[in-house]
Amino acid sequence: MKNTKLMLGLAVIALGFTACKDEKAVEAEKKVDTYVMYVDSLGNVTAEDARENWEGIEATYQLRSGDAQAALANMKDNAAAQERLDAANAKYEALKAKIQAEKEAEQPTADVTVSSKQQLRNALFGQGKVGDDMSFAWVNKDNIHSVYQQFIHTAEDNKDSYSREDWDEIKLMYEALDSRKNTVEKEGLSSEDNRKIAGLKFKFAPMLKVNRMGAKSAEMKEAKE
Given a cut of 90, whether residue 90 has pLDDT beyond it is: no
CA atoms within 13 A on the CB side of 113: 2
Q: Tell me the per-residue pLDDT of 122-133, one tens digit each, with 9 for 90 and over.
A: 999 998 899 888
Give the model confidence (pLDDT) of 135-161 as tens digits.
899 999 999 999 999 999 999 999 888
What is the C-alpha separation between 51 and 58, in angstroms, rounded? 11
Q: What is the pLDDT of residue 2?
A: 47
**Is the pTM above the cut of 0.75?**
no
Distance CA 56, CA 50 (A): 9
For 197, phi and psi rounded to 5 degrees? -65, -40
> What integer pLDDT is reported at residue 9 of this predicted model?
45
Q: Which of 173, 189, 191, 169 is nearest to 181 (CA)?
A: 189
Instruction: Give the mean model confidence (pLDDT) for residues 202-222.
Output: 81
Domains of the chain, by residue range, sit at 2-106, 116-224
**Residue from 100, 101, 216 nearest 162 by CA:** 216
| Cα atoms found within 13 Å of the Cα of residue 223, Cβ hemisphere only | 7
pLDDT of 97 > 70? The answer is yes
Is the model more confident about 28 or about 5? 28
Could you read off the pLDDT of 10-67 as tens digits, one per residue? Answer: 444 444 444 445 677 788 788 888 888 988 988 888 888 888 888 888 888 888 888 8
CA-to-CA dists, residue 57 to 73, 95, 104, angstroms: 25, 11, 18
173 burial type by CB count under 10 A (0-12 exposed, 13-18 middle, 19+ buried): buried
Distance of CA 99 to the CA centre of its chain: 20
How far is CA 128 from each of CA 77, 123, 167, 195, rounded to the nearest angstrom?
51, 10, 20, 28
Distance from C-alpha of 54 to C-alpha of 62, rounded to nearest angstrom: 12
168 CB-near residues (< 8 Å, 6+ apart): 212
